[in-house]
Structures are given as structure tokens and as C-alpha cells.
């Protein structure tokens, strides 16, 4: 794995950003207005990390500002950023109003053997389709299949089907096959739980919410 370190500002948020995924943001805090202004002026990316109640995660995703949707007179911004590469935080610096960090860019260890995951990608999309139908949704199956296994693993991981904890785990996995396997198995378990919930509800009636019993 090639080592690539860069210095970027950090933006702790209550979400996990994945590569290839859009991130619309309304920037209103003064310190982050300054951060975004610097990023725009210097054509610089920033790092998005999941912020919990006690700490922020060491692993995150680099975001590059795609366009400024609105720039308000009081300094606020509406922007659209895009996730690019994942990173691991090496060190942080709190000398500015916002946190900055030296980070190491993460690359998948199995990028060169991606074609071996075509079947696994198809199985993953099939599970996504089944689960989406069970919760009253749909997916664009054909569009997902043409993404390729690597991009599919990130796009699927970013879906609303997964918890923040699961998304953070997926973000940190450095093998395409591991991510697709994690997604497929998580969806299989979710499908089983939904089926069990429906079965029990048919027995005891539809009024009581018993879904928590299978989580």
C-alpha cells in the first residue's frame, strides 16, 4: 500500500461520507465558514469524520467542493461536496478555529483483482433489491450493476439500509471483497429479521410494533 500523506481541515459531522457520494451542506458556524472559504480560495479539500458523543473517528473520507450553490451576505454557504478518497488520521492540530490533521490516504489492497468480485457484486445487488422491496422501496438494479464492484461497495454502503456504526466499519475495510461480503451478509440478516417480524405479527396481530425484538 503506497503511503500518501496530506494536511487537510477536518469537518466532524453526524454522518459517514463514502467515496463517490454527494454531500450537500449548509455552512453556518463561523469557524466552518472560514474553513470553507479557505478551501474554495485554495481549491483545497477537507476531511469528513463521524463525530460521536465522546470523540471523532480516526478514519474518514476526503471531500472536495464540487460547486457553491449559494453564498449568503452574512458568510453562510450552501455547497455540494463529493467524497473522493478515504483516510486515516495520523495527527491533529487545534491551533486554528477548526481542527486540521495530517492524514494518510487509504487505498484498497485488492484493486487489481476487482474482476473476481463480479458474481459477489451481483449477489449484493440482488440482496439490496429484496430488502428494498420488503421495506417498500426500490433500487435501480441496472445502474448499480454497471458501477463495478469497488464503486458499488461504497454506493451500497452509503444507503439508508445501514447504521452509522456499520457504515464506519465499511469505510475502514481495505478490501473490496470484504466490503461486499459485509454488505451481503448484513442484508441477509436484515431480510431474515423482517421475515420473522412479519411472521410474528401475523400471529399476534398487526397493531403491536415488535420489530425491536429482532434487532
- Annotated domain spans of the chain: 5-106, 111-214
Nearest C-alpha neighbor of 173 from the set 108, 90, 85: 108
Dist. CA 67–CA 82, nearest whole Å: 10
Measured CA distances, 111 to 1, 82, 114, 174, 192 (Å): 11, 21, 5, 10, 32
Query: What is the model's pTM?
Result: 0.86
Q: pLDDT of 144-178, one tens digit each? A: 999 999 999 999 999 888 999 999 999 999 999 99
The sign one gets for the Cα dihedral 116, 122, 127, 131 is positive
- 5-106: CATH topology is 2.30.130
Q: pLDDT of 173-195, one tens digit each? A: 999 999 999 999 999 998 998 88
Amino acid at each position: 500500500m503506497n503511503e500518501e500523506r496530506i494536511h487537510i481541515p477536518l469537518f466532524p459531522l453526524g454522518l459517514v461520507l463514502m467515496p463517490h457520494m454527494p454531500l450537500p451542506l449548509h455552512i453556518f458556524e463561523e469557524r466552518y465558514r472560514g474553513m470553507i472559504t479557505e478551501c474554495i480560495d485554495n481549491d483545497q479539500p477537507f476531511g469528513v469524520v463521524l463525530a460521536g458523543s465522546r470523540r471523532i473517528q480516526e478514519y474518514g473520507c476526503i471531500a472536495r467542493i464540487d460547486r457553491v450553490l449559494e453564498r449568503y451576505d452574512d458568510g453562510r454557504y450552501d455547497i455540494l461536496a463529493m467524497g473522493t478518497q478515504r483516510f486515516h488520521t495520523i495527527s491533529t492540530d487545534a491551533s486554528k478555529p477548526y481542527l486540521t490533521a495530517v492524514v494518510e490516504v487509504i487505498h484498497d489492497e485488492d484493486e487489481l483483482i476487482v474482476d473476481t468480485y463480479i458474481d459477489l457484486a451481483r449477489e449484493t445487488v440482488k440482496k439490496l433489491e429484496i430488502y428494498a422491496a420488503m421495506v417498500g422501496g426500490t433500487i435501480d438494479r441496472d445502474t448499480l450493476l454497471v458501477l463495478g464492484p469497488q464503486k458499488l461497495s461504497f454506493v451500497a454502503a452509503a444507503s439508508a439500509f445501514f447504521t452509522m456504526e456499520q457504515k464506519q466499519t465499511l469505510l475502514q475495510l481495505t478490501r473490496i471483497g470484504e466490503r461486499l461480503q459485509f454488505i451481503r451478509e448484513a442484508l441477509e440478516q436484515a431480510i431474515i429479521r423482517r421475515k420473522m417480524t412479519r411472521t410474528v405479527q401475523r400471529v399476534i396481530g398487526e397493531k403491536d410494533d415488535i420489530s425491536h425484538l429482532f434487532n
